[in-house]
Structure 1
Amino acid sequence: MRLVIAQCTVDYAGRLTAHLPLAERLLILKQDGSVLVHSDGGSYKPLNWMSPPCRMEESEPTPTQADAGIERIWTVRHTKTDDTLEVSIYRILHDSEHDLGVDPGLEKDGVEAHLQKLLAEHIEVLGPGYSLVRREYMTAIGPVDILARDAQNASVAVEIKRRGEIDGVEQLTRYLELMNRDPLLAPVRGVFAAQEIKPQARTLAEDRGIECLVVDYDALRGMDDPSTRLF
């Protein structure tokens, strides 16, 4: 992993365009090829990024760019979509590389891990015609709990929590932003599944077009027979 703190501007061009004006930012270049641009705020969400598969080229500025104070140009291009992320570096304050080795992966809360396994085994809970693609589908910023396809063969990303709160909706939103950049997956819908979903989280999810699903843990485990209930 390469960590660079630099004064830079950032321009993204693709299905949409975005510009970050000159400021000091943290640039993260990961071994998988992804590039993330962070500020010293906004929690852990990057201001902009390019997810793999992509390649980066570093070049000298043109005379006009050099006159403006630019020292280096990073051009990151997605190899499937041709989206580009261009970082114009005016000054590097820090540049270091670190070998982090193989990550053992996230150890989830026992209930969440069990919910994920049960929901994958009973994917029809999401609706008729659903099929499982895989559990722990990896993105550049972490694994989505379940990737499935609905009856129309459209991609569905499922994030599972024991208790559904706003941060879980934000997490799924970031996954969806990345996955919808992949033409092999897009369009990707989101399902936020939990044993309990807070009203604020439900409101935010529905506002973003994310479906909410309250999961009955005991029913999935086969311990709760709905036919024996009075209500």
Structure 2
Amino acid sequence: MRLVVAECQAHYSGRLAAHLPKARRLIVVKADGSVLLHSDGGSYKPLNWMSPPCSVVVKEPDDLQSQRGVTQVWRVQHAKADDRLDIELFDVFHDSSHELGVDPGLVKDGVEAHLQRMLAEQIDLLGPGHTLVRREYPTAIGPVDILAKAPNGSTVAVEIKRRGDIDGVEQLTRYLELLNRDPLLAPVRGVFAAQEIKPQARVLATDRGIHCVVLNYEEMKGFDDVDSRLF
């Protein structure tokens, strides 16, 4: 990765035209060929960029550009389209290259698979006396996240989401309709479990006799130890 901090201006042409007036910016050239121009704000989003595949050619400025103080001209051309990004550099304050290697990618914490595993290990969160039958219980329309037994012996089907919305309730409803056709399982009660349940989803679930359970991921991980609190 190459990092250049410079006084620069840029013009993008192709499917659209855009211009960045002269200002101090960070130019990032990545190993995949992408080129991005960042300001000191706007969070992660660049002001302008060129996605790969593209090529970068550094040229000397012409006479008119030199008179304006331009020291370098970068022409970034997309390989499969007419899109082009021309960057004029004036003063360069920093220019460095770094080998970052292969990135393993983002490992998300608190995804549905984690919630499913932890709820299976802490099945009492559904209520005292519940027991786990199995995770990923197969059906003809897809696996039910958790199948459990209530203290009275009835079957409980649990659908788990990070953020529970109406689509999740509809999904669980379809599972319940199918599972309740099985005389070995019926009657099957539904539980909609999520870290956050939207009000519309809660209303729909309640109307269909589905119980809602809000999962506290930190407590389930053991980070929120009630016994160690001062208050």
TM-score, normalised by the number of residues in structure 2: 0.54
Query: Per-residue displacement from partner, 1:195-228 (whole Å, max 9, x unpaired)?
Result: 34xxxxxxxxxxxxxxxxx5418947x9951466
Q: 1:14 to 1:100 in 2, by over 3 A?
A: same
Residue 26 of structure 1 aligns with an amino acid whose one-letter code is L
Q: Which amino acid aligns with 2:90?
A: Y
The structure whose Rg is larger is 2
The alpha-carbon distance between structure 1 residues 34 and 114, as it changes in their structure 2 partners (threshold 3 A), is farther
Count of matched residue pairs: 139
Deviations 1:117-142 (A, max 9, x none): xxxxxxx99xxxxxxxxxxxxxxxxx
Contact kept, 8 Å, 1:9 with 1:20, in 2: the verdict is yes
Classify the secondary structure of the residue corresponding to 1:108.
coil
> How far 1:108 moved relative to its partner?
1.8
Tell me the percent identity: 53
Which residue identity lines up with residue 20 of structure 1 in the other structure?
L
**What one-letter code is carried by the residue in structure 1 that aligns with 2:73?**
I
CA contact (8 A) 2:76 2:85 kept: yes
For the aligned residue pairs, the C-alpha RMSD in angstroms reads 3.0
Which residue in 2 is equivalent to 1:225?
Answer: 176
Provide the rounded CA distance (Å) in 2 between the counterparts of 1:19 and 1:215.
42
The letter for the 2-side match of 1:90 is: F
**SS of structure 1 residue aligned to 2:111:** helix
The answer to whether the Cα contact below 8 Å between 1:219 and 1:226 also exists between their aligned partners in 2 is no
Question: Structure 1 pair 110/13, CA: closer, same or farther in 2 (3 Å)?
Answer: same
Structure 1 equivalent of residue 93 of structure 2: 93
1:80-120 residue CA offsets vs partner (Å, 9 max, x unmatched): 012001100001000011111100011123425689xxxxx
Match in the other structure for 1:104:
104
Determine if the alignment matches structure 1 residue 54 to structure 2 residue 5. Answer: no
* Residue 168 (structure 2) aligns with: 216
| Whole-angstrom distance in 2 between the partners of 1:79 and 1:162 | 40
Deviating 4+ runs (over 3 angstroms): 112-115, 217-220, 226-230
Which consecutive residues of structure 2, in runs of 5 or more, have no partner in the other structure?
A: 116-140, 143-160, 181-189, 191-206, 209-231
Letter in 2 for 1:33: G
Alpha-carbon separation, structure 1, partners of 2:32 and 2:88: 22
Contact between 1:7 and 1:91, CA under 8 Å: does it hold in 2?
yes
Q: How far off is 1:58 after superposition?
A: 0.2
Query: Residues of 2 paired with 1:95 and 1:223: CA distance?
Result: 58
